[in-house]
Amino acid sequence: MQTGLRTGRISLQVQSEPVQSFSASFELKGTPERGELSLISPLGSVLGVLRWSPGEAVLDSGGGKVQRFSSVDELMAQATGAAVPVTALFAWLQGDNASVSGWTADLSRYAEGRITARRVQPAPPADLRVVLDQ
C-alpha cells in the first residue's frame, strides 16, 4: 500500500433519521495499519486529525480535546458518522476495488479522481464520495 500523501475532498451521507452529512477536504498518509487523516473545513481550519496504529486510535479535535478509541473503525465512526472501512479506503484510493462486507465501491471514474462507495449493511445505508486532487 502507498504511504505517500493523498489529498482531496470527502463526503459521507448516512441515511439515518435525521440524515447525517459530513464533508471536508482531507489529507491522508500512512497505511491501513498506521496512518493519519486530517479533515479540513471549506475555510481551511482543521476539523480534526485522526491517527491510528496497532492498538491505538486517536481523534485530536484541537484545543487540547483528544479522544481515544479501541479501533480505527470506532474512530472513523465518531469522526464521520459511519465506520468507513479504512483498509478498503486505502485500496480504493489506489484503484483496487477491494471488497468489504456491507460496502460496494464504484471505481468506474477512478481515472477522473472520483470514487464512490455505498454501505447497505449494517443499516442505515451510507454513501461515501471521494474526489482526489490530481
Longest dimension (CA), the chain: 41
Model pLDDT for residues 76-127, shown as the tens digit of each residue: 888 887 888 988 999 999 999 999 999 999 999 999 999 999 999 988 999 9
Is residue 70 pLDDT above 70, yes or no? yes
Asked whether 129 and 111 are in contact (CB, 8 A), the reply is no
Residues in the chain: 134
Residue carrying C-alpha cell 471514474: 109
Tell me what pLDDT residue 27 has.
Answer: 95
Q: Quick one: what percent of the chain has pLDDT higher than 70?
A: 98
Residue carrying C-alpha cell 458518522: 81
Q: Quick one: what percent of the chain has pLDDT higher than 90?
A: 68
Could you give the residue ranges of the DSSP H alpha helices within 6-125? 72-80, 86-93
pTM: 0.89
Asked whether 47 and 12 are in contact (CB, 8 A), the reply is no
Domains recognised in the chain with CATH numbers: 6-132 (2.50.20.10)
Tell me what pLDDT residue 2 has.
Answer: 47
